[in-house]
């Protein structure tokens, strides 16, 4: 039996998230079904992170174990063939050691959140960005984001159904990119940490949007963090602006 790492891209709109669920379409379920068509199963794959319903990925990573002899190139093509027409693609594939694990070997997860600021409705980007009113104060959002960097109790910024044993996490970076796009601006939040709580990124972005529109100042972000109370959080940003962009490993599995 050989283990393969899969780098996966998907549009999250049709799915009830990454994790397999009975009678609901999921990304994990679709990939496991595709594997079952190329080699008898059952197949149980493990991923670097569980994205929620509606969340997208540019660089999700999972691993699978197979009995047949495959080259990574042929395996990638075979899985993609059987994934059609689902909006999921294996964009890279590599053979890895038997003890390599997509989740437990990972050092860092990186997410991008896309916020579109323009008056006209989104067309090409509909369902791929969170559209907000124009003239958000990006510098104020950056100042608010700085209050969240480091090792903190993030109870305020996690879902009430979060299953993590502890709300204490280390947030490595929040970089906010301000881009000029057709008819407006796109703000991209680049957020990095070893691991995240359930809804943590969307809770942070929703809170920073409140700062950007002037409802809060950076000091209010600090007060919300220190409250350790979910009720102190700003609006949770919608899932369709969020992307799992990259997973970092001690030795990159892909060329």
The C-alpha atoms of residue 161 and residue 216 are separated, in whole angstroms, by 26
Please identify which of the residues 52, 65, 97, 172 carries the catalytic annotation.
Answer: 52
- In angstroms, the first-to-last Cα distance of the chain is 22
Residues of the chain with pLDDT > 70, as a percent, come to 100
Q: What is the pLDDT of residues 160-197, one digit of tens each?
A: 999 899 999 999 999 999 999 988 999 999 999 999 99
Q: Please list the helix, strand and coil fractions of the chain in percent, rounded to the nearest 5, in that order.
A: 25, 30, 45
Identify whether 52 is a catalytic site residue: yes
Question: Is 135 in contact with 79 (CB distance < 8 Å)?
Answer: no
Fold entry, domain 108-246: Alpha-Beta Plaits (3.30.70)
Mean pLDDT of 141-149: 98
pLDDT at 133 over 90: no
pLDDT at 114 over 90: yes
Is the pLDDT reported for residue 134 higher than 90?
A: no
What is the mean predicted confidence (pLDDT) over 221-226?
98
Average pLDDT over residues 53-62: 98
Instruction: Quote the CA–CA distance of 255 and 250 in Å, as a whole number.
Output: 14
Is 242's pLDDT higher than 90?
yes
Q: What is the pLDDT of residue 219?
A: 97
Predicted pLDDT of residue 199: 96
- Cβ atoms of 112 and 243 closer than 8 Å: yes
Is pLDDT above 90 for 48?
yes
pLDDT of residue 17: 97
Q: What is the pLDDT of residue 182?
A: 86
Instruction: Please say if the pLDDT value at position 93 is more than 90.
Output: yes
Segment 15-21 mean pLDDT:
96
Residue 9 CA to residue 6 CA, distance in Å, equals 10
What is the pLDDT averaged over residues 47-69? 97
- Whether 2-105 shares its CATH topology with 108-246 is answered yes
- Sequence-distant (6+) residues with CB within 8 A of 103 are 46, 47, 48, 49
Locate the domains of the chain by residue range. 2-105, 108-246
Give the pLDDT band of residue 41 (cuts 50, 70, 90).
confident
Which of these CATH numbers, 3.30.70.580, 1.20.58.110, 3.40.50.150, 3.20.20.70, describes 2-105? 3.30.70.580
- From CA 245, how far away is CA 201, in angstroms rounded? 13
């Amino acid at each position: 039996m050989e283990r393969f790492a899969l780098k996966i891209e998907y549009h999250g709109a049709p799915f009830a998230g990454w994790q397999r669920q009975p009678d609901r379409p999921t990304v994990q379920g679709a990939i496991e079904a595709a594997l079952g068509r190329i080699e008898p199963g059952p197949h149980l794959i493990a991923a670097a992170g569980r994205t929620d319903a509606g969340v997208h990925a540019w660089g999700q990573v999972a691993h699978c174990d197979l009995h047949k002899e495959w080259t990574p190139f042929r395996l990638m093509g075979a899985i993609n063939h059987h994934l059609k027409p689902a909006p999921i693609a294996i964009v890279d594939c590599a053979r890895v050691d038997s003890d390599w694990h997509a989740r437990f070997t990972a050092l860092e997860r990186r997410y991008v959140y896309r916020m579109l600021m323009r008056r006209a409705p989104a067309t090409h980007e509909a369902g791929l960005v969170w559209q907000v009113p124009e003239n958000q104060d990006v510098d104020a959002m950056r100042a608010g984001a700085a209050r969240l960097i480091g090792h903190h109790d993030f109870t305020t910024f996690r879902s009430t159904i979060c299953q993590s044993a502890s709300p204490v996490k280390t947030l490595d970076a929040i970089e906010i990119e301000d881009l000029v796009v057709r008819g407006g601006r796109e703000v991209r939040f680049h957020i990095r940490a070893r691991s995240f709580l359930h809804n943590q990124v969307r809770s942070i972005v929703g809170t920073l949007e409140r700062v950007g529109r002037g409802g809060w100042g950076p000091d209010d972000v600090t007060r919300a963090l220190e409250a350790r109370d979910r009720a102190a959080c700003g609006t949770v940003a919608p899932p369709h602006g969020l992307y799992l962009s990259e997973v970092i490993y001690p030795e990159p599995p892909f060329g």
